Amino acid sequence: MNTVIRKLGCWLTPAVLACSTAALAQDKPAGYPVRPLRIIIGASPGAGGDFVARLTSKMLSDRWGQNVVVDSRPGGGGVIAAGLAAKAAPDGYTLYQNGFGLLLLGATKRVEFDVLKTFEPVVRTTSQPYILLVHPSLPARSVKELIALSAAKPLTYAGSAGIASTVHLGMERLAILSGMKLKYIAYKGSAPSILALMGGEINMAAGSAMASTAAMKTGKVRALATLGLKRVPVLPDLPTVAEQGFPGFSITNSYNLWVPAGTPSAIIAAVNRVVSEGMNSPEVEKRLAASGSEGVDPIPPKELKAAVAREYAEIEQSVKQLGLKF
């Protein structure tokens, strides 16, 4: 039913209070939440994942009147945060934010549990490309020049949440496609990686569009390419890697919220509804666009679960094809 008509029906009926109560009942299960929630993330403060998690926490807090704490547990390539979330009670009070990184942890066997059986996907929040940054001392101005430079000495790089992260796997794939010589240096997250690049500890880093644009303003890093399939609105003149000779190549990340398996389906549906509405609101869409991210079309939990299963199978295949060992 059209939302406007449904609301008008409430206003015109004598039982206005009853209608309002029914609407609130549909918003969340009775008796939930009665205490603060937390969102565990593997990203460090200031990273793109931290930004998205704080947006999400505000949506839930504003709607339900409970505090929602962002619990940052960076390190271990995401293993620390995933392990903590996996041990949480399936009561809806612990949410876990991760995207392809969680699937990579499972596909590369870096966690002892089956990620698809341990967690239930709740909602997909945003899609975000990475930006390839280099230290200003590096003379390369294009991906091809970068490849040529690496012939003399492997280039050091970092990004994302460490070993077997989205950036690690993606850049190794680029190395195989291009012949570029690379050496991965693990840091605890995107923000520490960019700080290391700014300090000249490494040659390159791949960071979220938000973290990258902030770093670029300091003049201590230079953007070389967008790692998504299309240019980022906040950096319209920055070409993609695909445009620079590698059609179809991309490194992007979609953030999901997860809960421990066994969490009541009514809670999963309620979180999905609140976050989907919030991410597609005009105010949040503007904030995401300004950060180089974008919201995704609402996906019901069952459809998201099927999509995640397909993505996991694709990542497993990529790991095998690349012959990567972690």
Percent of the chain predicted with pLDDT > 90: 59
Does 152 share its domain with 123?
Answer: no
Instruction: Tell me which of 3-7, 259-263, 274-278 is least confident.
Output: 3-7
Confidence (pLDDT) at 324: 65
Selection from 156, 264, 133, 265 nearest residue 203 by Cα: 156
Is 186 a domain residue?
yes
Does 143 share its domain with 236?
Answer: yes
**Better-predicted residue by pLDDT, 305 or 170:** 305
Confidence (pLDDT) at 161: 66
Does 233 share its domain with 268?
Answer: no
* Strand (E) or helix (H) holding 258: strand 252-260
Is 100 a domain residue?
yes
Percent of the chain predicted with pLDDT > 70: 90
**Better-predicted residue by pLDDT, 67 or 289:** 67
Tens digit of each residue's pLDDT (9 = 90 or more) over 221-230:
999 999 988 8
Summarize the confidence of residues 67-90 as an average pLDDT. Answer: 93
Q: How confident is the model at residue 2 (pLDDT cuts 50, 70, 90)?
A: very low
Q: Would you say the C-alpha torsion 100, 103, 107, 113 has a positive or negative sign? A: positive
| Distance separating alpha carbons of residues 297 and 279, to the nearest angstrom | 9
| Distance separating alpha carbons of residues 110 and 96, to the nearest angstrom | 17
Domain C-terminal end among 191, 217, 244: 244
Confidence (pLDDT) at 39: 98
Confidence (pLDDT) at 97: 97
Token readout for 310 is 């397909």
Is 14 a domain residue?
no
Confidence (pLDDT) at 53: 95
- Tell me the range of 10-19, 80-89, 189-198 where mean pLDDT is highest: 80-89
Give the CATH number of the domain where residue 304 resides: 3.40.190.150
* Whether the predicted pLDDT of 268 surpasses 80: yes
Summarize the confidence of residues 184-204 as an average pLDDT. Answer: 90
Query: What's the mean pLDDT when you consider all of the chain?
Result: 86
Does 138 share its domain with 279?
Answer: no
In three-state secondary structure terms, 74 is: coil
Q: How confident is the model at residue 11 (pLDDT cuts 50, 70, 90)?
A: very low
Give the CATH number of the domain where residue 197 resides: 3.40.190.10
* Whether the predicted pLDDT of 134 surpasses 70: yes
Is 30 a domain residue?
no
Is 28 a domain residue?
no
Instruction: Tell me which of 114-123, 255-264, 290-299 is least confident.
Output: 290-299
Does 107 share its domain with 141?
Answer: no
Does 119 share its domain with 137?
Answer: no
Instruction: Tell me which of 82-86, 107-111, 299-303 is least confident.
Output: 107-111
Helices marked H in the chain:
3-12, 16-27, 48-64, 79-86, 100-107, 115-118, 143-150, 166-178, 190-198, 209-216, 265-279, 282-291, 301-322
Confidence (pLDDT) at 258: 98
In three-state secondary structure terms, 11 is: helix
Confidence (pLDDT) at 25: 41
| Distance separating alpha carbons of residues 288 and 210, to the nearest angstrom | 9
Does 121 share its domain with 219?
Answer: no
Q: How many structural domains are present in the chain?
A: 2
Per-residue b or e along 310-321, where b marks 16 or more CB atoms closer than 10 Å to that residue's CB: ebbeebeebbee
Summarize the confidence of residues 313-319 as an average pLDDT. Answer: 84
Domain C-terminal end among 224, 244, 264: 244
| Distance separating alpha carbons of residues 113 and 145, to the nearest angstrom | 42
Does 223 share its domain with 167?
Answer: yes
Q: How confident is the model at residue 166 (pLDDT cuts 50, 70, 90)?
A: confident
Does 233 share its domain with 271?
Answer: no
Domain holding 47, by residue range, is 35-128+252-322
* Whether the predicted pLDDT of 17 surpasses 50: no
In three-state secondary structure terms, 238 is: coil
What are phi and psi for residue 115, nearest 5 degrees?
Answer: -65, -35
Confidence (pLDDT) at 325: 64
| Distance separating alpha carbons of residues 308 and 47, to the nearest angstrom | 23
Is 6 a domain residue?
no
Tens digit of each residue's pLDDT (9 = 90 or more) over 31-62:
999 999 999 999 888 777 888 999 999 999 99
Helices 48-64 + 265-279 axis angle, to 10: 110
Domain C-terminal end among 202, 228, 244: 244
Does 227 share its domain with 304?
Answer: no
Confidence (pLDDT) at 162: 65
**Better-predicted residue by pLDDT, 117 or 191:** 117
Q: Report DSSP letters for 136-182, one per residue.
A: TTS---SHHHHHHHHTTSPEEEEETTSTTSHHHHHHHHHHHHH---E
Residues constituting the chain = 326
Tens digit of each residue's pLDDT (9 = 90 or more) over 285-313:
888 887 777 778 899 999 999 999 998 99
| Distance separating alpha carbons of residues 161 and 43, to the nearest angstrom | 7
Does 97 share its domain with 144?
Answer: no
Is 136 a domain residue?
yes
Is 199 a domain residue?
yes
| Distance separating alpha carbons of residues 177 and 182, to the nearest angstrom | 12
Does 88 share its domain with 220?
Answer: no
